[in-house]
């Protein structure tokens, strides 16, 4: 009875699986050889990454002038990418922390990869403020260190510094949360490894995990408390990112709706990226029995919810901009001016990709379709990038005086660095998919008896 689950719930692990089968399935991508598709994807990502690194070196060597910024638009493409990447990171923590607190069993098949995505995405995000410093070797100036510059401390009143603390706390806490969960799975790989070198590496990575009853007791307690800590943390991170804008006095940015709306947008875009990655990964690593249609549908439900919150936020921003009657508000990112002005293409891209296309997910057929979920997730990734671009570039492009009306046009360096971070992200993710247990197998084993298809059939009788 301890493994009872209502028959009405769909199974989360398909097929006739035993504990040992789970071990085999998860270890297979690590122990086998990579196929041709993996190498093609890897080399394309590597090329993009190296191109991006070239652009970064050029920027650092020459100066920020190589970007498309001008006297009015002091940050645009780079901060757009920063916010985009941080937002993508949010889904991983939401899945592993918030869904743990809500005891959602379906998180177990996807939390490992979603958290890997979080960590790799936050790496990319962190690059942009450091590059934008222009002198990245002085990056340590953002830390509150005693120094010889007349005791010049960091400014704790500034949202940019809050961001430093929020992002670094987020990255480091996500990393230990992820790694602690990985220990038993690394131990599993270690104990079945045949090649001595592989055994050594996984012995090192597993920190000598032995799986004593006391260790498991502590492990579960630590997971629960970390989830409790990570839940407010993940909500705080994009709140603080939004304060970079909301605490300024720029109309269009100075908006109290920003924190909740940014957090919803972050989860929206993060889940879209999880869909994109897992849509590919379940095929490549033959894990179709663990990442099922049901998982895809649940994620799509989160997407339609958070996407709805974002749509309502857009509507209220648009309404307020019109309702103020202030001519200046007519040029903010959600306004008639934006919809008809020189950035109309960016405005409408946002509306189409972020609001209109995701509405298809209201249909159960679409929600449960792998290919449609994948296509819609790509649309949302693009739409959420445009959201940040619109907020930043459109608002800055129309100042109070006509002399401050400038347009932002990206240079190939701007674009190159962005492409480079996408390449870097996929390089990390592809290496991860070959070397790490991509599913939290110890956790999946705990739900096999309650949610495995074979056990459910045995228990409920064959109703079909």
Partner 1 sequence: MSNKVIHAFYNDDEVVLDAVKKVKAANHHIEEVFCPFPVHGLDKAMGLAPTRLAITAFIYGITGLGVAIWMTNYMMIQDWPQDIGGKTNFSWWLNMPAFVPIMFELTIFFAAHLMVITFYMRSRIWPFKEAENPDPRTTDDHFLMEIPVHNNEDELTSLLKETGAVEINVVEKH
Q: Which residues bind partner 1 (CB under 8 A)?
A: 2-3, 18-20, 23, 144, 150-159, 161-162, 165-166, 169, 172-173, 176-177, 180, 183-184, 187-188, 190-192, 203-204, 206-222, 224-226, 229-230, 232-233, 236, 240, 243, 442-443, 445-446, 449
Q: How far is the CB of 19 from partner 1 (least distance, A)?
A: 4
Q: Which is nearer to partner 1, 143 or 336 (CB)?
A: 143
Q: Which is nearer to partner 1, 256 or 403 (CB)?
A: 256
Q: How far is the CB of 200 from partner 1 (least distance, A)?
A: 10
Q: How far is residue 305's CA from residue 300's CA, in Å, rounded to a whole number?
A: 9
Q: How far is the CB of 183 from partner 1 (least distance, A)?
A: 7
Q: How far is residue 23's CA from residue 30's CA, in Å, rounded to a whole number?
A: 11
| Three-state secondary-structure class, residue 154 | coil
φ/ψ (deg, to 5) at 398 = -125, 100
Q: How far is the CB of 383 from partner 1 (least distance, A)?
A: 28
- Report how far apart, in Å, the C-alpha atoms of 327 and of each of 62, 387, 393, 397 are: 39, 22, 18, 14
Chain centroid to Cα 426, Å, comes to 13
- Which residue matches tokens 């629960």? 224
Q: How far is the CB of 171 from partner 1 (least distance, A)?
A: 11
Q: Which is nearer to partner 1, 204 or 301 (CB)?
A: 204
Q: Which is nearer to partner 1, 121 or 187 (CB)?
A: 187
405 bridge partner residues: 398
Alpha helix segments (H runs only) across 285-439: 293-324, 336-340, 344-350, 364-367, 370-389, 395-397, 412-435
Q: Which is nearer to partner 1, 107 or 367 (CB)?
A: 107
Q: Which is nearer to partner 1, 85 or 177 (CB)?
A: 177
| Pair of tokens at residue 37 | 């598709």
Q: DSSP per residue over 374-387, as a string?
A: HHHHHHHHHHHHHH
Q: How far is the CB of 53 from partner 1 (least distance, A)?
A: 29
Q: Which is nearer to partner 1, 106 or 209 (CB)?
A: 209
Chain centroid to Cα 139, Å, comes to 24
Contacts 24+ apart (CB under 8 A), 100-104: 100/223, 100/224, 100/227, 101/224, 101/227, 101/228, 101/231, 104/298
Q: How far is the CB of 208 from partner 1 (least distance, A)?
A: 3
| Pair of tokens at residue 107 | 């998180």
Q: How far is the CB of 462 from partner 1 (least distance, A)?
A: 23
Q: Which is nearer to partner 1, 97 or 396 (CB)?
A: 97
Q: How far is the CB of 451 from partner 1 (least distance, A)?
A: 14
Q: Which is nearer to partner 1, 137 or 149 (CB)?
A: 149
For 23, how many CA atoms within 13 A lie in the half-sphere containing its CB?
Answer: 12
92 bridge partner residues: none
For 80, how many CA atoms within 13 A lie in the half-sphere containing its CB?
Answer: 28
Q: How far is residue 401's CA from residue 341's CA, in Å, rounded to a whole number?
A: 17
φ/ψ (deg, to 5) at 332 = -75, 175
Counting beta carbons within 10 angstroms of the beta carbon of residue 136, is it exposed (0 to 12), middle (13 to 18) or buried (19 or more)? middle
Q: Which is nearer to partner 1, 140 or 156 (CB)?
A: 156
* CB 270 within 8 Å of CB 111: no
Q: Which is nearer to partner 1, 379 or 442 (CB)?
A: 442
Q: Which is nearer to partner 1, 126 or 358 (CB)?
A: 126
Q: Which of 357, 431, 321, 462 is nearest to 43 (CA)?
A: 431
Q: How far is the CB of 427 from partner 1 (least distance, A)?
A: 24
Q: How far is the CB of 156 from partner 1 (least distance, A)?
A: 5
| Residues in Cβ contact with 340 at an 8 Å cutoff, skipping those fewer than 6 apart | none
Q: How far is the CB of 302 from partner 1 (least distance, A)?
A: 24
């Amino acid at each position: 009875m301890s493994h009872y689950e209502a028959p009405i719930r769909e199974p989360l692990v398909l097929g006739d699986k035993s504990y040992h089968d789970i071990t085999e399935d998860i270890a297979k991508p690590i122990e086998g050889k990579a196929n041709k598709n993996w190498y093609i994807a890897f080399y394309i990502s590597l090329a993009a990454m190296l191109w991006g690194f070239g652009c970064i070196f050029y920027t650092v060597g020459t100066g920020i002038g190589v970007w498309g910024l001008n006297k009015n638009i002091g940050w645009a493409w780079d901060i757009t990418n920063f916010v985009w990447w941080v937002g993508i990171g949010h889904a991983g923590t939401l899945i592993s922390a918030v869904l743990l607190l809500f005891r959602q069993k379906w998180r177990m098949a996807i939390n490992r990869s979603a958290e890997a995505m979080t960590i790799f995405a936050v790496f990319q995000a962190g690059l942009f403020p450091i590059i934008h410093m222009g002198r990245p070797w002085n990056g340590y100036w953002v830390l509150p260190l005693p120094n010889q510059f007349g005791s010049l401390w960091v400014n704790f009143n500034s949202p940019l510094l809050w961001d430093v603390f929020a992002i670094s706390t987020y990255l480091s806490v996500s990393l230990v949360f992820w790694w602690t969960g990985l220990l038993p799975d690394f131990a599993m790989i270690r104990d079945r490894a045949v090649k001595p070198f592989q055994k050594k590496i996984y012995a090192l990575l597993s920190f000598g995990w032995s799986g004593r009853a006391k260790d498991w007791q502590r492990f579960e307690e630590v997971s629960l408390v970390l989830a409790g800590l990570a839940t407010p943390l993940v909500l705080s991170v994009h709140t603080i990112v939004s304060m970079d804008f909301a605490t300024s006095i720029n109309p269009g940015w100075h908006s109290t709706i920003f924190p909740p709306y940014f957090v919803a947008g972050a989860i929206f875009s993060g889940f879209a990226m999880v869909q994109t990655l897992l849509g590919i990964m379940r095929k490549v690593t033959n894990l179709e029995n663990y990442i099922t249609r049901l998982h895809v549908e649940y994620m799509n439900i989160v997407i339609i919810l958070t996407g709805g919150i974002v749509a309502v936020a857009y509507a209220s921003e648009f309404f307020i901009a019109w309702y103020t009657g202030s001519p200046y508000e007519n040029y903010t990112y959600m306004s008639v001016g934006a919809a008809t002005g020189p950035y109309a293409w960016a405005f409408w891209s946002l509306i189409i990709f972020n609001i209109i296309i995701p509405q298809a997910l209201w249909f159960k057929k679409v929600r449960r379709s792998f290919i449609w979920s994948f296509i819609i997730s790509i649309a949302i990734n693009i739409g959420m990038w445009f959201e940040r671009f619109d907020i930043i570039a459109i608002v800055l492009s129309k100042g109070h005086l006509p002399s401050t009306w400038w347009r932002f046009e990206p240079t190939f360096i701007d674009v190159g660095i962005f492409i480079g971070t996408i390449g870097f992200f996929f390089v990390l993710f592809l290496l991860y998919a070959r070397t790490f247990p991509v599913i939290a197998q110890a956790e999946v084993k705990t739900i096999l008896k309650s949610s495995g298809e074979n056990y459910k059939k045995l228990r409920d009788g064959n109703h079909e």
